Amino acid sequence: MPDMSLTKHPMPSQEPDVRNKNFLEVALGYTEEIAVAEANRCLNCKNMPCVSGCPVNIQIPHFIKKIVEKDFEGAYEVIAGSSSLPAVCGRVCPQEKQCEGKCVRGIKGEPVGIGRLERFAADYHNANFKGEVKKPEPNGKKVAVIGAGPSGLTCAGDLAKKGYAVTIFEALHLAGGVLVYGIPEFRLPKSIVQKEIDGLSALGVDVETNMVIGKTVTIDELFEKGYDAMFIGSGAGLPRFMNIPGENLKGVYSANEFLTRVNLMKAYKPGSDTPIKENKNVAVVGGGNVAMDAARCAKRLGAENVYIVYRRGEEELPARKEEVEHAKEEGIIFKLLNNPVEILGCEDKDENGRPAPGYHFVTGMKCIKMELGEPDASGRRKPVEIPGSEFVLDVDCVIMAIGTSPNPLIKNTTEGLETNKHGCIVTKDESGLTSREGIYAGGDAVTGAATVISAMGAGKKAAAAIDEYLSNKN
C-alpha cells in the first residue's frame, strides 16, 4: 500500500540563518530511510504521466520502485539509462514544471519528490560505486564538441559510450559551463560537477580548456584537423542590460560577471585573487533562477539587505519554486511589481573639483511601481507602469539578471551557419542538425537561455543523430 500522506517528506537542510552566511550546500539530501518513505508515495501509475514531463524521459516510476526495494544502485542505473548528469539534475531541474508537475499525487496534495529521489540515487551511486568504468571499443571516428556545459557534456558522454573519439573544446579554464560559472556552490557543489567530468575522462573524452572556438580555432579548421562531425553547445553567454541611465556606474554588474567572480573565480574564498566589491545593500533585477542565485550569493558575501526587483508579480516569477522559497527563508526581500528606471551614482567632488572617494559608485536605484494589465505575447499579464510612483531604493550595488543571448563568436566565423534574429543557431529539427552538414547544435545556443535539463536533452538527441549520420556515412 502506498504512503498516502499529502506532503513530501521535507528535505533536510541547513538552517536559513546559518546557511545565508556560508557557501556550503543548502539541501543536505534524503537519508535512506526518508528516501524509501518518500518513494512509497509513488502510485506507480501505468501510464506514467511523470515520464512525459521529463525532457530526457527518465523511467521515473521504475527508478522509484527500485528505491522502495532498497536497490539504490539499481535506481541509479535506471536514471543513468536516460540522463548523463543525474546528481546535477536532481538538484537544478525545475521539477514542478516537469515531472512533478504531471504527478497524479499533485492533484490533491504535493507530488512525489521525484527530484529529491533522483538526487538521492545519484548521490548514493557517487558515494558507493566502486566498479571500473569500461572504456568502449574505439570506432575510429572523431567528433568535436564545442562547449563543456550541460549539452556538450551530455553529447560527449553519449558519443564516447558508442566508441567515438570525442574532444570537448572549452573557452574557459575549467569545464562545466554554467554548472561551474553560474550555479553557486551552495546549490550545486562543484565537486559533483567535477565527478561528472572525471566520468567522461574515464570514458576517454578529451577536454581541452582555454580554447575559444571562433578565435583560437574555427569550426572549419576543426574539420580540416580530421573531425568527422561537430556539436555546438556554446550556450547563451552574452549578458543583457536594460539600457537605462547609470548602468555603467561602478557597482553595476551583469549577473554573469557577479556569479563568475563568485563561483568560477571563487572570490568568496580568502585565497582567491579575484576581487568582488563589498556591498551593504544589493538590488538584483530579474526573477529567474539566475536572479535568485545572485541574490543569495550577495547575502552570503555579507550584504545586509538584498532585494529582488522584478517587474511582474509573485505568480510570474520564472525561478524554480524551491529557489524562491529558499531565498525568502534566507532573508532576501522581494520587491515585486517594480521596475528600475535609473541607477544613481555619487557625484561628490573635493574642493579642487576632483572626484571624491566613492565618486561614480552606485548610491541608489530609481524604480517605478507596476501593475499587471492584459496578457502579452508570452501569455503572462503585461506589467504596466503606474504614473508618478517612482521611488529610490537605497543600494550600493545593482546586479542585472534579465537574461542572456547566444555568443556570436562561432556564428561570425563559420560560413553557412544559419542563425535567427536573436543570434540563436537554427536547427532543422529535434536532431539539432544545423544548416551545415555534419554540424549539430543544442542547448542555449539554439534556444536562448533555458534550463540545464533541456540542454541535456538536446545534447542527447544530437548525439543520437550524429551517430546515425556517421554510421551511414560510409
Partner 1 sequence: MYKIVRKKELNPTVTLMDIDAPAVAAKAEPGQFIILRTDENGERIPLTVADFDREKGTVTIIFQIVGATTEKLNHLKEGEYIHDFVGPLGTATHTEGLKKVAVVGGGVGCAIAYPIAKKLHSLGCEVHSVVGFRSKDLLILEDEFKECSDKYVVMTDDGSYGEKGLVTDALKKLIESGEKYDEVITIGPLIMMKFVCRLTKEFNVKTVVSMNPIMIDGTGMCGGCRLSVGGETKFACVDGPDFDGHLVDFDEAMDRGSMYRSYERKKHEETCNLFKGVN
Minimum distance from residue 260 beta carbon to partner 1 (Å): 5
Alpha-carbon distance 117 to 42, whole Å?
Answer: 11
The three-class DSSP label of residue 96 is helix
Return the DSSP state at 260: I
Which of 54, 75, 156, 211 is the binder for partner 1 (CB under 8 A)? Answer: 211
In the list 96, 206, 257, 385, the residue contacting partner 1 (rule: CB under 8 A) is 257
Q: Are strands 165-169 and 206-208 parallel, antiparallel or unpaired?
A: parallel
Which residue, 95 or 363, has its beta carbon nearer to partner 1? 363
Q: Please report how close the Cβ of residue 383 comes to partner 1 at its closest, in angstroms.
A: 24
- Interface residue with partner 1 among 20, 256, 279, 427 (CB under 8 A) is 256
Task: State in angstroms the smallest separation of the CB of 4 from partner 1.
Answer: 49
Pick the binder of partner 1 from 70, 135, 215, 349 (CB under 8 A): 215
Backbone angles phi, psi at 13, to 5 degrees: -140, 160
Figure out which of the listed residues 104, 212, 244, 333 binds partner 1, where binding follows CB under 8 A. Answer: 212
- How many helices and strands in the chain, by DSSP H and E? 18, 16
Give which of 178, 300, 311 is closest to 239, Cα–Cα.
Answer: 178
Binds partner 1 by CB under 8 A, chosen from 33, 108, 224, 243: 243
Binding residue for partner 1 (CB under 8 A) from 273, 374, 415, 429?
273
Q: Closest approach of Cβ 457 to partner 1, in Å?
A: 24
Window contacting partner 1 (CB under 8 A); options: 84-92, 129-137, 261-269, 313-321: 261-269
Cβ proximity to partner 1, 121 vs 294, nearer residue? 294
Separation between Cα atoms, residue 78 and residue 121, nearest integer Å: 10
Q: Which is nearer to partner 1, 243 or 474 (CB)?
A: 243
Return the residue of 84, 95, 98, 254 that touches partner 1, per CB under 8 A.
254
Contacts with 82 (C-beta within 8 Å, 6 or more apart), sequence order: 54, 56, 57, 58, 59
Task: Confirm or reject binding of residue 98 to partner 1 (CB under 8 A).
Answer: no
Residue 266 in contact with partner 1, rule: CB under 8 A: yes
The CB-side HSE value for 461 (13 A sphere, CA atoms) comes to: 20
For 112-176, the DSSP string reads: P-HHHHHHHHHHHHHHH--PPPPPPPP-S-EEEEE--SHHHHHHHHHHHHTT-EEEEE-SSSSS-
- Contact flag: residue 176 with partner 1 (CB under 8 A): no
Under rule CB under 8 A, residue 191 binds partner 1 = no
d(CA 369, CA 387): 8
Length of the chain: 474
Q: Which is nearer to partner 1, 400 or 441 (CB)?
A: 400
Could you say whether residue 353 binds partner 1 (CB under 8 A)? no
Count other Cβ atoms within 10 Å, centred on residue 300. 21
Pick from 31, 52, 210, 389: which binds partner 1 (CB under 8 A)?
Answer: 210
- 207 near partner 1, judged by CB under 8 A: no
Site for partner 1 contains 241 (CB under 8 A): yes
Q: How many residues bind partner 1 (CB under 8 A)?
A: 40
Q: Is the Cβ of residue 153 or residue 255 nearer to partner 1 in the bound state?
A: 255
Check residue 110 for interaction with partner 1 (CB under 8 A). no
Grid cell 508579480 is found at 313
Q: Which of 154, 260, 281, 419 binds partner 1 (CB under 8 A)?
A: 260
Burial code of 225-255, b = ≥16 C-beta within 10 A, e = fewer?
A: eebbbbbbbbbbbbbbebeeebeebebbbbb
Closest by Cα among 307, 263, 259 to 284: 307
Q: Exposed, middle or buried by CB within 10 Å (0-12, 13-18, 19+), for 286?
A: buried
Q: Is 253 in the site for partner 1 (CB under 8 A)?
A: yes
* Residue in 62, 65, 97, 250 binding partner 1, rule: CB under 8 A: 250
Residues that bind partner 1 (CB under 8 A): 171-173, 181, 209-212, 215-217, 237-239, 241, 243, 247-248, 250, 253-254, 256-257, 260-261, 265-266, 269, 271-275, 277, 355, 359-360, 407-409
